[in-house]
Amino acid sequence: MDPIISAVDLANELAGPTPPVLLDVRYQLGGPHGRPDYEAGHIPGAVFIDLDAELAGPPGAGGRHPLPDVAAFGAAMRRAGISAQTPVVTYDADKGWGAARAWWLLRWTGHENVRVLDGGLAAWAGPLETKTPEPVEGTFTPQPGALGLLDADGAAGWARDGLLLDARAGERYRGEVEPIDRVAGHIPGAVSAPTAENIDENGRFLSPERLTARFVELGAGQDAKTVGVYCGSGVSAAQQAVALELAGFEPVLYAGSWSEWSGDPARPVATGPQPG
């Protein structure tokens, strides 16, 4: 299934016989909480999902946004009205990061019918509502493992023997700045691939052909159809995972990402523009 859906197609599906469950995952790294914006206006029927509370566990040794407790995540998805066969569409209002995190978690836990709204809320031309919906509880039971997942050792091996993409901004990869984590730099062997280069000026994903060309230039190809990806804390890397799927590659996510890696003084750190 295509990992994204256009706003036009979403409007048609919402008017059809089996409308998707909508998840509003507005989130900004270091920005204000998304709930007030949701309450001010959201796509009709959308349920607000709190990324920090429902799509991540408590910060700690596993990073700033470790994977959530699976049972708690399943309960949150059921409260939103999700069952195993329910179509789901996620959206946000900033680069697709939050929406992609929800997409990745649902896919990783076995839900096959989930898509990201291409272009996010800005692409939606229909009405907004302020009413908070009360969906009928779903029956979704998460079964982790449907997508590839890396730990720190796995990420090191992927950077050494395969292709590991660093989804953060280039200046953070190069170690020129580090506004959040303990150490600046990147995992040795990882290749810089900022998420900003996956989308156009309207926030929509580039065409599959352009994304394929991008990832091939970065080192993906016939012998590297599976590609590892990480970021600062496992959120923006999920957007890269969506782009990789659009391009025909199979993403594997290092969920702990740089926040976990850099928190361990025993882990090596590279700086500069090259993989190191």
Phi, psi of 77 (to 5 degrees): -70, -35
Tokens of 181: 């984590």
pLDDT of residue 28: 83
For residue 226, the cross-strand partners are 250
The average pLDDT across 227-233 equals: 97
Strands 88-91 and 114-117: parallel
For the chain, what percent of residues have pLDDT higher than 70? 99
pLDDT of residue 91: 98
Confidence band for 259, pLDDT divided at 50, 70 and 90: very high
Cβ pair 254, 175 in contact under 8 A: no
| Catalytic residue (choose from 106, 231, 243, 244) | 231
Helix 236-246 and helix 97-108, axial crossing angle in degrees, nearest 10:
70
- CB-count exposure of residue 26 (10 Å: 0-12, 13-18, 19+): buried
Across all residues in the chain, what is the average pLDDT? 96
Phi, psi of 214 (to 5 degrees): -60, -50
Please tell me which residue, 42 or 1, carries the higher pLDDT value.
42
- DSSP class of residue 270 equals B
Tokens of 224: 């590297």
The average pLDDT across 134-153 equals: 97
Tokens of 236: 């923006």
pLDDT of residue 187: 98
Q: How far apart are CA 257 and CA 168, in angstroms?
A: 10
231 is catalytic: yes
Q: Is residue 23's pLDDT more than 80?
A: yes
